[in-house]
């Protein structure tokens, strides 16, 4: 049986590779356009269509158009990459209809890249080579020895100028093995995509001289094979936002075409599945996952290996596996991105999980609010069935498994596993008490494993690259990486995948660039409505399940919203309380009534009617809800209030005693006034006021009638003389 699986897999892989090779051979030049909900919202659909028209009009048959998922660099989308023979790929940002025309005529047809539109540019020149050297903890020590003071100095000594090569630091290229840590340094040279494994200064010198100066790669020192993250860094390693990330779950985002199973095969797709089915031993799989220290990425961080082992040990033969893609946390969008950009990876993870626990039916429970993700996952499941990777006798192993897609319908509580199970059963999505846990009695009372999208996305990588590698990437308590959706008041918004244990500051400031306009970070909100606000003073905290919980927040699914000095913490707490109040399913009293009472108190405070006693009440009520609620939603609901009360009590007190909102956010506590010194009497404010409460004659200072003002801020926005003040 074993040999048959491998042979069947190789057969499929050759078929995929042959189809790809044929498609690619026709094209000398390739234009790659991102395509995911964000990209499309930014205009990627138009861009793709425009390129198609340009190629058709040019009559050229050697130019190919390639669709890919999203890289997660949302604030610069749409992103387009142009691959020309023998030169470095060039990535463009903010591409629109006009820019398509310019890129096509100048770069694709004329060979002159538009340096002012390059991603994270502008560039002054395009070098012949790009060199990435790994600065991960496993390579950095030797790299420092090899490169000396600075890479620039070393290159200058060798007579290599910046027009020949541009050097970048990068995160792990994934080629290291535990035994060799500290003895090897990895360097990647582009456009040849040669990954070198170096041991000494002489070897580095040899590479620089032979490869860069003479144009001859040094085969002897090259590492063969496809290491994890390599393809991603090859493409995006020159962008500061990306090269400090370690991409495992997102390793194919922005690299492959999410609608092509052939391309997924090309990037080691289904190799992990073949390995698993060839070994034909579920406990081996569970052991690998346990040793990798993979923990559930949905929020609670339960060890995945342990969960699988529970279900596998059940006496009940019928078992189910569910992929939780009901990404309801406001501020989190990594699951959507993975389903849209790399759906096969998630499916492969699910099949491996199903084999490990002995399930023959699986479900992807996905939000109806994500139509493109639903379409891509449907498409991927259909392709897998066609290729014999889902259904009866997968890869000739005798293992049978199939996946169905079930749509959510906009209930946040359905992210909770027992509520999700009820929703799949066609019921109202209300939770039930645990135990029994779903691994014992889940869907239709059968043992059920529910894992998050990101958890499954990590599984094929763990099998392919080994549990030790994965465990080593992360921290003491949890292996691997975590994807964060960085948004809010930060320069570079998008998806960030970093090793567990990375300090928050590295993510928010190092990769995200901090708030725009030089404003100060006030807090970082993690974990959505179940999480809390972490103050600036605690940003050096290493990100992990345990550390965040200690800080009064949670890891959650990985939403990370940066807030600056103009955000009011009481207002944010109220915002989340409104959310949980609205999303409470109503089954248990502490959550249904408690959140309502907390919201009422917060409402009093933000409208200037609060008392100091209220703060104590909030805390008491919050602790009570945490202790007595039925499910995770209720138990975590008070977190946003309790964490802001703990870290930003001053702000609450100011609202109560001074009747003042320091961030000038709470409407009832702010007043708009017109500065008579600055007002020139242009009447713009009076004409724009929706309640006509501004009076004054032309060229005379105007006055706001405070008794009628609704504090909409319209006058503040339209005044061109800074005469409207907010106090």
Cβ of residue 493: shortest distance to another protein, in angstroms? 4
Distance CA 637, CA 599 (A): 11
CB-nearer residue toward another protein: 174 or 328: 328
**Alpha-carbon distance 460 to 226, whole Å?**
14
CA angle (460 as vertex; 456, 463 as ends), nearest 5: 125
- In angstroms, what is the minimal distance from the CB of 410 to another protein? 4
C-alpha–C-alpha distance, residues 471 and 479, integer Å:
4
Sort 616 into a burial class: Cβ within 10 Å, 0-12 / 13-18 / 19+: exposed
Question: For residues 128 and 711, which CB has a smaller minimum distance to another protein in the complex?
Answer: 711
Nearer to another protein, 228 or 563 (CB): 563
Name the site residues for another protein (rule: CB under 8 A).
37-38, 40-42, 74-75, 77, 327-333, 336, 367-371, 406-412, 423-430, 444, 485-489, 493-494, 525, 528, 559, 561, 563, 567, 572, 575-576, 579, 583, 585, 690, 712-713, 717
CA nearest neighbour of 340 among 44, 65, 562, 82: 44
Pick from 187, 557, 191, 531: nearest CA to 338: 557
CB of 549 to another protein, least distance (A): 20
* Nearest alpha carbon to residue 326 among 423, 238, 244, 400: 423
Please state the φ and ψ torsions of residue 411, each to the nearest 5 degrees. -130, 115
Please check whether residue 360 is in contact with residue 400, taking contact to mean a CB–CB distance below 8 angstroms.
yes
Q: How far is the CB of 459 from another protein (least distance, A)?
A: 23
d(CA 391, CA 660): 63
Alpha helices per DSSP H over 65-217? 97-102, 140-147, 151-157, 201-207
CB of 40 to another protein, least distance (A): 7
Q: Which is nearer to another protein, 176 or 581 (CB)?
A: 581
Min separation Cβ 561 and another protein, Å: 5
Handedness of CA 515, 517, 521, 526 (dihedral sign): negative
Q: Which is nearer to another protein, 367 or 655 (CB)?
A: 367
Task: Indicate the residue among 157 and 425 with the shorter CB distance to another protein.
Answer: 425
Nearer to another protein, 496 or 645 (CB): 496
Q: Smaller CB distance to another protein: residue 198 or 325?
A: 325
Find the angle CA(518)-CA(520)-CA(523) to the nearest 5 degrees. 145
Degrees (nearest 5) of the Cα angle 489, 505, 243?
A: 90
| Nearest by Cα to 71 from 37, 46, 34, 44 | 34
Of 372 and 680, the one with the shorter C-beta distance to another protein is: 372
Which residue, 8 or 76, has its beta carbon nearer to another protein?
76
Q: Output the smallest distance, CB 628 to another protein, in A.
A: 23
Beta strands 703-704 and 532-535 are unpaired
Q: Which is nearer to another protein, 134 or 332 (CB)?
A: 332
- Tell the smallest beta-carbon distance from residue 228 to another protein (Å): 25
| Distance of alpha carbon 521 from alpha carbon 192, whole angstroms | 41
Pairing of strands 521-526, 320-325: unpaired
Q: Which is nearer to another protein, 367 or 505 (CB)?
A: 367
Least Cβ distance, residue 320 to another protein (angstroms): 12
**Min separation Cβ 232 and another protein, Å:** 19
Residue 557, number of CB atoms within 10 A of its CB: 30
Smallest distance from another protein to CB 577, Å: 13
Q: Judging by beta carbons within 10 Å of its beta carbon (0-12, 13-18, 19+), is residue 328 exposed, middle or buried?
A: buried
Least Cβ distance, residue 353 to another protein (angstroms): 21
- Residue pair 463/292 in contact by the 8 Å Cβ criterion: no
């Amino acid at each position: 049986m074993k040999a048959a699986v491998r042979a069947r897999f190789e057969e499929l892989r050759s078929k995929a590779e042959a189809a790809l090779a044929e498609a690619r051979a026709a094209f000398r030049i390739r234009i790659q356009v991102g395509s995911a909900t964000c990209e499309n919202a930014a205009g990627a659909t138009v861009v793709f269509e425009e390129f198609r028209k340009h190629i058709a009009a040019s009559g050229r048959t050697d130019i190919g158009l390639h669709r890919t998922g999203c890289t997660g660099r949302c604030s610069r989308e749409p992103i387009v990459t142009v691959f020309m023979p023998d030169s470095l790929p060039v990535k463009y940002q903010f591409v629109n209809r006009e820019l398509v025309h310019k890129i096509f005529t100048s770069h694709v047809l004329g060979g002159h890249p538009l340096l002012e539109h390059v991603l994270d540019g502008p560039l002054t020149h395009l070098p012949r080579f790009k060199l990435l050297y790994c600065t991960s903890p496993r390579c950095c020590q030797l790299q420092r020895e090899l490169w000396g003071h600075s890479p620039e100095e070393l290159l200058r000594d060798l007579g290599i100028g910046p027009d020949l090569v541009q050097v970048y630091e990068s995160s792990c290229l994934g080629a290291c093995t535990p035994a060799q840590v500290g003895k090897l340094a990895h360097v990647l040279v582009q456009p040849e995509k040669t990954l070198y494994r170096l041991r000494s200064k002489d070897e580095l010198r040899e590479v620089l001289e032979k490869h860069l100066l003479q144009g001859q790669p040094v085969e002897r020192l090259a590492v063969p094979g496809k290491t994890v993250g390599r393809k991603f860094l090859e493409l995006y390693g020159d962008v500061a936002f990306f090269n400090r990330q370690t991409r495992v779950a997102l390793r194919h985002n922005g690299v492959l075409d999410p609608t092509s199973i052939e391309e997924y095969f090309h990037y080691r797709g289904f190799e992990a599945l073949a390995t698993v089915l060839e070994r034909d031993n579920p406990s081996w799989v569970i052991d690998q996952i346990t040793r990798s220290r993979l923990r559930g990425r949905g929020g609670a961080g339960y060890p995945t290996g342990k969960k699988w082992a529970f279900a596998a040990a059940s006496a009940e033969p019928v078992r189910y596996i569910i992929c939780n893609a009901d990404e309801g946390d406001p501020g989190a969008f990594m699951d959507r991105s993975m389903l849209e950009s790399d759906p096969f990876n998630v499916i492969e993870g699910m099949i491996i999980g199903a084999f490990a626990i002995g399930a023959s039916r699986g479900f992807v429970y996905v939000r109806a609010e994500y139509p493109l993700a639903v379409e891509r996952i449907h498409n991927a499941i259909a392709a897998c069935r066609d290729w014999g990777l889902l259904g009866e006798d997968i890869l000739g192993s005798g293992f049978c498994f199939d996946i169905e897609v079930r749509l959510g319908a906009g209930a946040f509580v359905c992210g909770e596993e027992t509520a999700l199970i009820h929703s799949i059963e066609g019921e109202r999505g209300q939770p039930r008490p645990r135990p029994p846990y779903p691994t014992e009695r889940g869907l239709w009372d059968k043992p059920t494993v529910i894992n998050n999208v990101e958890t499954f996305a990590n599984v094929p990588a763990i099998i392919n690259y080994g549990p030790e590698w994965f465990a080593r990437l992360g921290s003491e308590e949890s292996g691997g990486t975590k994807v964060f959706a960085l948004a809010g008041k930060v320069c570079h918004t998008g998806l960030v995948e970093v090793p567990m244990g990375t300090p928050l500051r590295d993510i928010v400031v190092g990769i995200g660039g901090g708030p725009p306009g030089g404003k100060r970070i006030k807090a970082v909100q993690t974990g959505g409505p179940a999480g809390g606000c972490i103050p600036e003073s605690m940003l050096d905290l290493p990100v992990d399940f345990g550390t965040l919980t200690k800080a009064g927040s949670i890891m959650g699914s990985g939403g990370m919203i940066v807030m600056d000095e103009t955000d009011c913490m009481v207002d944010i707490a109220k915002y989340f309380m409104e959310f949980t109040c609205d999303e409470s399913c109503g089954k248990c009293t502490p959550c249904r009534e408690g959140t309502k009472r907390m919201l009422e108190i917060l409402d009093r405070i933000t409208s200037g009617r609060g008392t100091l006693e209220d703060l104590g009440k909030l805390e008491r009520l919050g602790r009570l809800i945490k202790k007595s609620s039925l499910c995770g939603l209720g138990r975590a609901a008070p977190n946003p209030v309790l964490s802001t009360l703990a870290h930003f009590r001053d702000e609450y007190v100011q609202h109560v005693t001074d009747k003042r909102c320091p961030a000038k956010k709470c409407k009832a506590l702010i007043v708009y006034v017109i500065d008579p010194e600055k007002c020139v009497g242009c009447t713009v404010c009076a004409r724009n006021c929706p309640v006509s409460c501004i009076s004054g004659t032309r060229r005379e200072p105007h006055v706001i009638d405070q008794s009628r003002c609704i504090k909409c801020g319209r006058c503040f926005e339209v005044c061109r003389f800074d005469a409207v003040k907010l106090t």
